[in-house]
Amino acid sequence: MHQGQLTVAVLGPLGTYTHQAAYGRFGSSVQYHECGTITDVFNVVASQVAHAGVVPQENSTFGSVIETYDALRRENIGTICGEILLEVQHCLLVRRGVKREDIRYIKSHEQALGQCRDFLAQHFPSAALEKVGSTAAAAKAVSTSDDCAAICSKVCATVFSDLEIMFEGIQDRNNNYTRFYVVSAALDELPSPVPIPRQTRCLVRLSSAKGNRPSPIMQLLSALGMNIARLDRRPQLDTTLLFSNIYFAELERGELGDEPWMLEIQCALQRVQDSGGDAQLMGIW
C-alpha cells in the first residue's frame, strides 16, 4: 500500500489548522485528502483510502476535542502513531468591504469559538455564533456573505481571495496551542521521512469488561500501574449500565524503564484484564 505517494487525510478544506499541522510534519511531497469532519478523517484512514490522517486532540486553553475522543470509542478506528504541536493565532475574516456593524453571524469550528469566547462577548455581544465543520469551512462560507465573519487562520485570507482580515490575534489567551494526533490504519504501518525517535508515549482505552460490574476508575488505574500523562473520559455506549465510562489514558515512559516499551504496555494491559477490566492499546509513538 505504501508504494508511491503517501496520502494524508486532514480536516478540510485546505487552510484549516489541521492541514497546517499536517503540512509541518509531512511537507509538500504527500497528497492531502480533505475531509468534512474529524470522524471522516478516522474513517478514510481505517478504510485505507489514506495512509495516515491528522486530527486535533487537545487545545491548551479550550481542552479536549470531543469528536476525536468519540471516534476513538469505536472499534477498528486505527491507531495513533504520532503527535504534532501547533501554535494557534486566530483572525476574524470577512468578505472584502463588509463593515464591523454589518456582522450578524460569526462562524467557526467550536474549538475556535471557544478559544475566542471573551473577544466575542466584548466585541460582538449580539452576533449569533454558528458552529461549522472547520475554521476554513467557515472562511469559505463567509467569502460569499455580506453579514458573516469567520474565525480562522490568517492563511485563509490567502486561500480564499475574496476575504480580508478585520482582527488579528483574537484568541483569549496568548499561550494558545493545539496538539494533534497522527493516525494510521495499523501499528507500524507508516513510513517516516525522518528518523523516528525512541517511542515514549502510548494511548490506552480502559473500561469495565462487558457483562462485568462497573470497574471503579481507581481500580483500573491502579491495575494499570503506569505513569499517566493525561486522562480523558467519555460515556461508554455499548452497555446498559447508566453513567458508565470509557477512559483514555495517555501513558508516558519512565526514564528508568529497562523493558522494551511495548512489553511494559502489554504487561500493564494484562494487569487491567486480570482485575476484571477491559484495556486496549490505541497507539504508540
Which residues form the interface with ligand PPY (CB under 6 A)?
A: 11, 16-18, 56, 59, 88, 109, 111-112, 134-136, 178
Identity at 266, one-letter amino acid code: Q
- Between 112 and 159, whose beta carbon lies closer to ligand PPY? 112
Name 16's Cβ contacts closer than 8 Å, sequence gap at least 6: 10, 109, 134, 135, 136, 137, 153
Min separation Cβ 11 and ligand PPY, Å: 5
Query: What is the per-residue DSSP string for 172-223?
Result: S-S--EEEEEEEESSTT----SSPPPPP-EEEEEEEEPTTSPPPPHHHHHHH
Min separation Cβ 88 and ligand PPY, Å: 5
- Between 36 and 260, whose beta carbon lies closer to ligand PPY? 36
The span from the CA of 220 to the CA of 233, in Å, is 13
Min separation Cβ 223 and ligand PPY, Å: 34
Min separation Cβ 179 and ligand PPY, Å: 9
- Between 44 and 226, whose beta carbon lies closer to ligand PPY? 44
Identity at 277, one-letter amino acid code: G
Min separation Cβ 12 and ligand PPY, Å: 9
- Between 7 and 59, whose beta carbon lies closer to ligand PPY? 59
- Between 153 and 208, whose beta carbon lies closer to ligand PPY? 153
- Between 51 and 140, whose beta carbon lies closer to ligand PPY? 140
Neighbours of 201 (CB within 10 A): 16
The span from the CA of 14 to the CA of 136, in Å, is 7
Neighbours of 35 (CB within 10 A): 26
Here the cell at position 21 is 499541522
Identity at 157, one-letter amino acid code: A
Min separation Cβ 181 and ligand PPY, Å: 12
Name 52's Cβ contacts closer than 8 Å, sequence gap at least 6: 6, 7, 8, 9, 26, 45, 81, 182, 183, 184, 190
Min separation Cβ 71 and ligand PPY, Å: 14
- Between 16 and 236, whose beta carbon lies closer to ligand PPY? 16
